[in-house]
Structure 1
Amino acid sequence: MQNKGLVRVFAILFGLVCIYQLSYTYLTYTKEKEAENYAQQKFPGEDASKLREMAERNYLDSIGKDPIFAGITYNDAKDKELNKGLDLKGGINVILQISVKDILKGLSNNSKDPAFNQALLATDELQKNSQNSYIEDFFTEFEKIPDAKLASPDIFANKNLSDDISFDMTNDQVKPVLTRKIDESITSAFEVLRKRIDKFGVTQPNIQRLGETGRILVELPGAKDVDRVKKLLQSTAQLEFWDVYKAEEIFPFIFAANTLLKEEMEKKEATTSEDATEVDAAQVDSTKTDEDAAIDDLLADAEDSTDLDAQVNPIFDLIANQGGQGGPVILSVNKNDVEEFESYLNDPKVRALLSPEQRYVRFAWGKPVKDSDFVDLYAIKGNRNNEPELSGGVITDARQEYNQVGQVTVTMQMDGKGAKAWEEMTGRASTNRSQIAIVLDNVVYSAPGVSTGPISGGRSEITGNFSIEEGQDLANVLRAGKLPASADIIQSEVVGPSLGQEAIDSGIMSFAIALVLILVWMVFYYGKAGIFADVALVVNILFIFGVLAGLKAVLTLPGIAGIVLTIGMSVDANVLIFERIKEELTKGKSQVDAIKDGFNNALSSILDANITTGLTGLILLFFGTGPIKGFATTLLIGILTSLFTAIFITRLFIDGYGKNGKELAFSTGMTKNLFSNINVDFLGKRKIAYIISGVVIVVGLGSLFTQGLDQGVDFVGGRSYTVRFAKDVAPTEIENKLTGVFGSAQAKTLGANNQLKITTKYKVNETGEAVDAEIANKLYTTLQPYLGGDISYDEFANGDEDKQIGIMSSMKVGPTIADDIKQAAFWSVLGSLIVVFLYILLRFRRWQFSLGAVAAVFHDVLLVLGVFSLTWKFMPFNMEIDQAFIAAILTVIGYSLNDTVVVFDRIREFFGEHTNWPLAKNVNAALNSTLSRTLNTSLTTLLVLGAIFIFAAPLRGFMFSLIIGVLVGTYSSLFIATPVMYDTVKKVGLKTKVKKEEVTA
């Protein structure tokens, strides 16, 4: 191997980089463990999970900016740690469908035109089985209506769209305008959702648009309040304009509220010392009569006080800054204290302190400022009905522009009704020298003053210290109020945090056991050479996790499975190398030459095998979503790192050991002559293999056509729940009771016998919170006798973390997206077969090789499907056909091709070396020479899969399909792929003599 020094330096530097990347995860883990221990000591009770959660959060907030190591803070480490997926961390994953239908109705001013509404109804029906976007299908259906014009004054040639659409425009001219308007509306909706999610306060949230479909993916790791999240995501954006109080008008109330709360706390402290607070306190001189002076003293003392036994001022201790005289900002508090501050303001006793004129006041927080830890509080002049004088529906346009002096401004235009109301509001604000708050979802985005008198005409300019991005955001917010569009959850997955922790534990357990099994096996089979392979394997694992952390990829439970599977498959490269070295030593070569030729001869097979597996991984990455992308990501990273460690790291150790003439054995006493004198006539047994495979495939196809497969909600739509009970339950009994309630339902044991996966297609076509709540209520009522103890509906629906009972995770998939997932799965499998056929054709230059490989892959896929169809009804674990199963099928394809390509590589090599041998002898000899490698790789991979199957209960169905796939893949490479290739070669009369350059190509 050339440039050993360069490889060594690169490996060391790359290893250090990986350790550096993973150090952030370690630092985060240590601090979060500290927070967990602190919370456990502070609130040790069994029913105190929420208090512990809040205590943990407060602890981490308090140390967030403190240096941990080398100037790295917890907040820095948290941003760069290895991200965990929802199945490991718990949380919520939803796909929202922004209603393009609602947007079209808004653009048409809710037109009653028969042609327009007929096209909408037809589009709704077409969308159930369509892969097109809503607007594309709407245009198709509208064109079917004779003489229908989009630019009709009753549809889109209306006053609101007069600047964009005129009466004389054709349908083709209107279409791009509508497409652009819809895209702008979806962008506005996306911005609204992003702002809401930022306000929600979860770490590492993910929100992204999915193509041009109007779908938005939202992932909230660690989120636990499901109902709050759904309300947050689905409620229509409320843009409102309100008058606001000045700071001096509302601050006397704040002062009185603090006094009241302080007195209550002092009374409570007098009765029991256990209720003493740990908040930093400030001594108050209650004898002062000058309110302003008292407030200033309180704020100053709160900043300087370090005496934990001093008096507490509940409100003033949280105030960071007081608002200015005549301004709309009442005060500012730290972002972390907002929830506590709100609880004080919403206390009924505190609200009772408001004057009669202020009794309808609404408190709202300002828009968070980038790089600031503080938010401003505003007091909105509410009314009895809590309805704004002006809402966002009146805005026809809003844009970010610049004024005459180059400042960023936002201009907005209102319709006639809005212009009149705006003139009244601005006139009043100008007279009173007050401000008008622009409020979206109860967040004040701006509170501009009016200094020029009433603003007529409905056109206004909002000025402020805006950056370009802030100006664009505000314009988007203002436009969002114009076209309210509902956001339906068409797919959702909720994973409880305890289930996520169990997934981590089972994943680590399976990972550790699989690793130990592999390490021991390699030493047992290859002796000292096996030790070098083990070192390379450990380095490989370091590289995989380091790259994942560096790329900020998300680690999921299938991702852990992908890493563990990579470990099993990466052994294959070392096995190939060691087997080739053993062959060269058998020929009588010196150790140095044998090692050199062994590595060189194995390289072609290693590259071919990993490229075919990598191609299926790329297809999986392209078509997959969520956890499946995690599986594909880790598989692809693992392939690259495995190649490097096997080809270079292992070579460094082996060359280094033998450079002083030391002899290195590539076997042990027990394995030295294993598989050395095997001479099986594989081709002679091919007809028996054809018959056996044919019978099994026919039986499997018969089962597929009669009882089919257990299609999961991914493919047919529906809802599934992972429910944990107090004691073991009988799935059949639960299933019968649920079927009586829902019409159809399934219940399968998932892991332990006290945990079931319950699936129902009840009201699969209906969406919304009401339907979700109805189904959860029916579920609770039916299962209540089995839950044990006194568990409330809320505890059941949200999965009681203390009692470990209730819904631990849930998933919902609408029929439309289920159809899309099924289509993507079909194309991913078909695409992988086409890509593999072309690669093998290019690599081996004979279509017979491609045909043999694809025939084996079809054989393997049909067998796996047949086994699932025959066994899903009585297997004790979940065997649903879902996205994870498609990932397993593609992995089986990759593994089968891996095996087949290694065999074909050896056959091609034998063609070149033994040009005078008969075709059958060449093929049989090649198969026998690779048998040791084939069985060795299959055994190590099965050891790995077996460990995951046993210890990772949620992945048993996934692992079962892979285990079956490895078994049939090993069989098919010997008895299907090669015989099919042989029979087609023989049929066309191809000679075994092949040009030397063609063999080595």
Structure 2
Amino acid sequence: MLYFSRWKTTFIWLAVLLGVLFALPNLLTEQQRASLPSFMPKQPMTLGLDLQGGSYVLLEVDRASLINDRLQSLREDVQVSLRSANVGFTNLRENNGAIQFALRDPAQAQAARTALQGLTSPISSGLLAGGSVTETDLTEPQSGTYRLALTNAGIDYRLSTAVSQSIEVVRRRVDELGTTEPVIQRQGLDRIMVQVPGLQDPARLKSLLNQTARLTFRLVDVNNSAEAVASGAQPLPAGDELLETTDTKPHPILVQRQVMISGENLTDAQAGFEQQTNQPVVNIRFDARGAQRFGQVTQENVGRPFAIVLDNKVLSAPNIREPILGGQAQISGNFTVQSANDLAVLLRAGALPATLDIIEERTVGPGLGADSIAAGKAAGIIGGALVVVFMFVAYGFLGVIANIALLVNVILLVALLSALGSTLTLPGIAGIVLTMGMAVDSNVLIYERLLEERRNGRSVVQSIDAGFHKALGTIMDANVTSLIAAVVLFFLGSGPVRGFAITLALGIFTTVFTALTLTRWMVSYWLRHSRPKEVPKGWVSFVPHGTRIRFMSIRRWAFAITIGLSLASIGSLFVGGLNFGIDFTGGTVLELRAKNGTADVGAIRQDLSGIVEGDVQVQQFGAASDVLVRFGVQPQDAQTPQASVNAVRSALANDYDFQRVEVVGPTVSGELAWAAVFGVGAALLAISIYVWLRFEWQFAIGALLATAHDVAMTIGFLVVSQLEFNLSSIAAILTIVGYSLNDTVVVFDRIRENLRKYKKMPISDIIDLSLNETLSRTLLTAVSLVLALVALYAFGGDVIRVFVAPMLAGVLVGVYSSIFIAAPVLIYFKLRPETIRGGDKSDALEPKSVGGSTPSTSGKA
């Protein structure tokens, strides 16, 4: 175990060197990175929105509007198809989500079916899908009456197609904003995720994404009165549509439904100024087909008003004074320079095939992002320093080696995050600090085993070799359980939670490398060159050697206390309840900063009383200038998404800067709640299966009960503390699951080893012996983790405290459950030594003495 060939040594230090090179760009400025040689890595870690500011928007295709648009198109197709086949029909209308009509002559039934065959035939769903979809279904509910309805498969196909087309339109629109590295991805069947780092004007982004930008040119009906139709004094003429203008005081206008020219024929759109009035306008240019059609329409309708319609709003309706034959036109209206530019952007990017609703929004201002970076750096440095000092005090020179390995571990982790282009979020910084604490665990396992072997009479070389050898399996088991939790987090989480999962997973790989390879190489090098006569020891012994605490003698009391506390925690859910964040309830959270330096909570509450329905929470948050505003889902948002947020912005924008905006719709919140429950359950199940396969079923039940207890206790802590329960809380709970099982597996590993050694010793004595042998490691690891988490809690900022506080409680609860829940379960389920599998076969050949004494064989299970 301690011999390293030359090629292994080269590989180890080459990996370290590459890690330094890939991590280096994170310490350099942009100009310094640009001046690096071409062969050197230049890509730093990508900072998440919570660290550099920006906007995250989740868009959903409006299913109802898409179906409505498709039905209108289908109605026109039915009309054209039947007329082309000379089939007489009447009463063609939309009825309960379908197109219905009646034949004038029932004898034309077959001719009608033949004419509509093109609409009911299966259509290809794409090369990759490799199938076909029947989009419409023709039925005859009664003789002579036919009904053409959209199928569910056809609607899903249209939704999927609309998302694919919308992604490209959204990408072109976002690119026009001039932002760097936007992330635009499909999510599920009907959603698009848009993430724009560093965006200074999120309201403008929402405005661009929230418009369909369907531009049409239609003739105005001058023979009927729009005011009379709007007041109800006159019915709406056939073939007409009543729209409103975009003026400050909108007025009605009657336009023909027939589209003369559409925005599909545009080739360019640029903002400019009208030469005579100097007012902002948008100059547009048509393609050849559009220019020809535009010239023909204007030539045939000289003297008539021509409405320019954008998303069912009339921008302007000028009179056609003369034919426009050059393929160029001008759109005028009540434009500002900004609105003219935005309209030009929308027209150049093209129209969306369907309406996109914003169902989730998370915006962080650049100032708040800078504060988060500063807080994360401070927490990381202080947490790292505490762990380094602790390891030196606990292990002396071996602690110095562990600290070097820890530094390399962090460098390799940052290098991997940079090389993979992963996004570092605030929970990601927590993952790095947590990795620092958990990385210590591997070295503690090795060092404690090493010292134990030395106390048992082995030589220095034998002790070191046996320490690494026997700790190998335990380290792998402990880290695999954490990896399973990280994988579940990644696949079931979203946004920052995924960032934490990636950091945690990568940290596990770097920890295994540094502990089992780099640390072993450094110890081997020291051993060869120094030839020590004794294993170095620390300055303080936290658990005296020879400790023999009879844990199992109080197991019944411990179980009674555990059951009582667990029932109390579960009961507290129905009495006090969790303080659910908007991730699970839906609603809006705004973090405001007063421009004059002092926030007026009472004035904010009064300003919002007439805008927001229901309870509005306004509270001081951090400094005197910072305020947190929270309110539930608003009815007005159902008709117009984001209406409440836009109204609040208008009311408070003059006096406050919006540092953070989070809006979660009821649909998303319900999905997140189910995903959270499923995530915790899936993590527990996956890790239990691993423990079962690695050990025995009794061990799996013990691990499952202990972990369920830790989850219950953590939830009880959240109920009592009334900390906000959000997605970060789920990440914290799943991290506790991983840590608790990490601790439990270490204890199980020693129990399995001692069961193979002492086949006649009662199971309760074996458990006591194993718990005492691993007690030092358990406490040292817990203390190092607590030090890292305390640094995060104290210096990581207000947002991350919600994430760290339950983890602090969970670490302490996890130590308790490993001793008083997981281990005693093996007694109650009558674990038999002869059924034990796995472990090191050489364990059975160890001498039947520990510390120079023969273990007692008395006692009852």
- TM-score with structure 2 setting the length: 0.75
Residue number in structure 1 paired with 2:617: 746
Encode CA deviations 1:894-921: one digit per residue, 9 max, x unaligned: 0100000000000000001111211111
Answering whether residue 206 of structure 2 is matched by residue 230 of structure 1, we say yes
Distance change in 2, residues 1:610/1:444 (3 Å): closer
d(CA) in 2 for partners of 1:668 and 1:979? 33
- Out of 737, 743, 759, the residue aligned to residue 630 of structure 2 is 759
Cα offset, 1:237, TM superposition: 2.8
Answer whether contact 2:71 2:94 (CA < 8 A) is retained.
no
- Out of 476, 488, 501, the residue aligned to residue 607 of structure 1 is 476
Residue number in structure 2 paired with 1:980: 825
SS in 1 for 2:547: coil
Residue number in structure 1 paired with 2:226: none
Distance change in 2, residues 1:201/1:586 (3 Å): same
Residue number in structure 1 paired with 2:52: 89
RMSD: 4.1
Counterpart amino acid of residue 571 in structure 2:
G
Encode CA deviations 1:929-984: one digit per residue, 9 max, x unaligned: 00000000000000000000001121111110000000100111011111122222
Distance change in 2, residues 1:330/1:842 (3 Å): closer
Cα offset, 1:185, TM superposition: 1.9
Counterpart amino acid of residue 82 in structure 1:
M
Distance change in 2, residues 1:193/1:173 (3 Å): closer
Residue number in structure 2 paired with 1:641: 510
Residue number in structure 2 paired with 1:275: none
Residue number in structure 2 paired with 1:825: 676
d(CA) in 2 for partners of 1:908 and 1:733? 65
d(CA) in 2 for partners of 1:669 and 1:209? 54
Answering whether residue 506 of structure 2 is matched by residue 543 of structure 1, we say no
Cα offset, 1:689, TM superposition: 1.3
Q: Number of paired residues?
A: 714
d(CA) in 2 for partners of 1:384 and 1:685? 98
- Out of 67, 71, 75, the residue aligned to residue 108 of structure 1 is 71
- Out of 529, 532, 541, the residue aligned to residue 398 of structure 2 is 529
Encode CA deviations 1:665-702: one digit per residue, 9 max, x unaligned: 65546335843121000111112212222232233233
Residue number in structure 2 paired with 1:770: 643
Cα offset, 1:848, TM superposition: 1.2
Answer whether contact 2:633 2:665 (CA < 8 A) is retained.
no
- Out of 169, 178, 182, the residue aligned to residue 192 of structure 1 is 169
d(CA) in 1 for partners of 2:390 and 2:827? 34
Deviates more, 1:180-189 or 1:227-236: 180-189
Answer whether contact 1:238 1:441 (CA < 8 A) is retained.
no
Distance change in 2, residues 1:959/1:364 (3 Å): farther
Counterpart amino acid of residue 81 in structure 1:
P
Distance change in 2, residues 1:944/1:962 (3 Å): same
Residue number in structure 1 paired with 2:856: none
Answering whether residue 785 of structure 2 is matched by residue 865 of structure 1, we say no
Deviates more, 1:16-25 or 1:808-817: 16-25
After TM superposition, the structure 1 = structure 2 runs for residues 586-735 of structure 1, keeping only pairs within 5 Å, are 586-663=455-532, 667-668=536-537, 670-671=539-540, 674-725=543-594
Cα offset, 1:727, TM superposition: 6.0
- Out of 212, 217, 240, the residue aligned to residue 193 of structure 2 is 217
- Out of 944, 948, 971, the residue aligned to residue 788 of structure 2 is 944
After TM superposition, the structure 1 = structure 2 runs for residues 865-944 of structure 1, keeping only pairs within 5 Å, are 865-872=715-722, 879-944=723-788
Counterpart amino acid of residue 677 in structure 2:
F
Residue number in structure 2 paired with 1:362: 282
Counterpart amino acid of residue 860 in structure 1:
D
SS in 2 for 1:227: helix
Answer whether contact 2:591 2:629 (CA < 8 A) is retained.
yes
Residue number in structure 1 paired with 2:9: 8
Distance change in 2, residues 1:72/1:851 (3 Å): closer
Encode CA deviations 1:419-451: one digit per residue, 9 max, x unaligned: xxxxx9xx975xx6x6799999635999xxxxx
Structure 1 unaligned blocks of 5 or more: 33-66, 120-151, 243-327, 332-337, 368-379, 394-423, 447-473, 781-792, 800-806, 873-878
d(CA) in 1 for partners of 2:205 and 2:470? 57
Distance change in 2, residues 1:554/1:6 (3 Å): same
Distance change in 2, residues 1:863/1:997 (3 Å): closer
Cα offset, 1:593, TM superposition: 1.1
SS in 2 for 1:580: helix
Deviates more, 1:6-15 or 1:958-967: 6-15
Distance change in 2, residues 1:842/1:176 (3 Å): same
SS in 1 for 2:829: helix
Cα offset, 1:167, TM superposition: 6.5
d(CA) in 2 for partners of 1:190 and 1:9? 47
Deviates more, 1:644-653 or 1:160-169: 160-169
d(CA) in 1 for partners of 2:448 and 2:677? 38
Distance change in 2, residues 1:934/1:436 (3 Å): same
Distance change in 2, residues 1:730/1:957 (3 Å): farther
d(CA) in 1 for partners of 2:811 and 2:602? 32
Answer whether contact 1:738 1:744 (CA < 8 A) is retained.
no
Residue number in structure 2 paired with 1:992: 833
- Out of 701, 704, 711, the residue aligned to residue 851 of structure 1 is 701
Answer whether contact 1:885 1:958 (CA < 8 A) is retained.
yes
Answer whether contact 2:138 2:149 (CA < 8 A) is retained.
no
Structure 2 unaligned blocks of 5 or more: 76-92, 101-110, 124-134, 141-147, 219-265, 288-294, 313-319, 332-340, 844-861
Answer whether contact 1:239 1:441 (CA < 8 A) is retained.
no
d(CA) in 2 for partners of 1:823 and 1:153? 48
d(CA) in 2 for partners of 1:387 and 1:609? 73
Cα offset, 1:811, TM superposition: 0.4
Answering whether residue 804 of structure 2 is matched by residue 959 of structure 1, we say yes
Deviates more, 1:976-985 or 1:214-223: 976-985
After TM superposition, the structure 1 = structure 2 runs for residues 103-252 of structure 1, keeping only pairs within 5 Å, are 103-109=66-72, 113-116=94-97, 168=138, 174-212=151-189, 214-239=190-215
Cα offset, 1:746, TM superposition: 2.9
Counterpart amino acid of residue 188 in structure 1:
Q
d(CA) in 1 for partners of 2:509 and 2:286? 48
Answer whether contact 1:533 1:650 (CA < 8 A) is retained.
yes
Deviates more, 1:668-677 or 1:900-909: 668-677
Residue number in structure 2 paired with 1:19: 20
Residue number in structure 2 paired with 1:508: 377
Counterpart amino acid of residue 775 in structure 1:
V
Distance change in 2, residues 1:722/1:103 (3 Å): same
Answering whether residue 552 of structure 2 is matched by residue 585 of structure 1, we say no
Answer whether contact 1:700 1:870 (CA < 8 A) is retained.
no
Distance change in 2, residues 1:943/1:189 (3 Å): same
Distance change in 2, residues 1:746/1:984 (3 Å): farther
Answer whether contact 2:268 2:284 (CA < 8 A) is retained.
no
Cα offset, 1:174, TM superposition: 4.8
Cα offset, 1:887, TM superposition: 0.3
Distance change in 2, residues 1:524/1:705 (3 Å): same
SS in 2 for 1:670: coil
Answering whether residue 659 of structure 2 is matched by residue 808 of structure 1, we say yes
Answer whether contact 2:583 2:669 (CA < 8 A) is retained.
yes
After TM superposition, the structure 1 = structure 2 runs for residues 388-467 of structure 1, keeping only pairs within 5 Å, are 442=344
Counterpart amino acid of residue 784 in structure 2:
T
Counterpart amino acid of residue 22 in structure 1:
A
Answer whether contact 1:527 1:665 (CA < 8 A) is retained.
no
Distance change in 2, residues 1:683/1:360 (3 Å): closer
Encode CA deviations 1:457-493: one digit per residue, 9 max, x unaligned: xxxxxxxxxxxxxxxxx9xx5xx56x4x221110001
d(CA) in 2 for partners of 1:118 and 1:606? 66
Encode CA deviations 1:718-740: one digit per residue, 9 max, x unaligned: 00011234667798998799779
Encode CA deviations 1:828-878: one digit per residue, 9 max, x unaligned: 01101111111111000x221111111111111111111111221xxxxxx
Distance change in 2, residues 1:678/1:752 (3 Å): farther
Distance change in 2, residues 1:220/1:153 (3 Å): farther
SS in 1 for 2:529: coil
Greater strand content: 2
SS in 2 for 1:202: coil
Cα offset, 1:177, TM superposition: 4.0
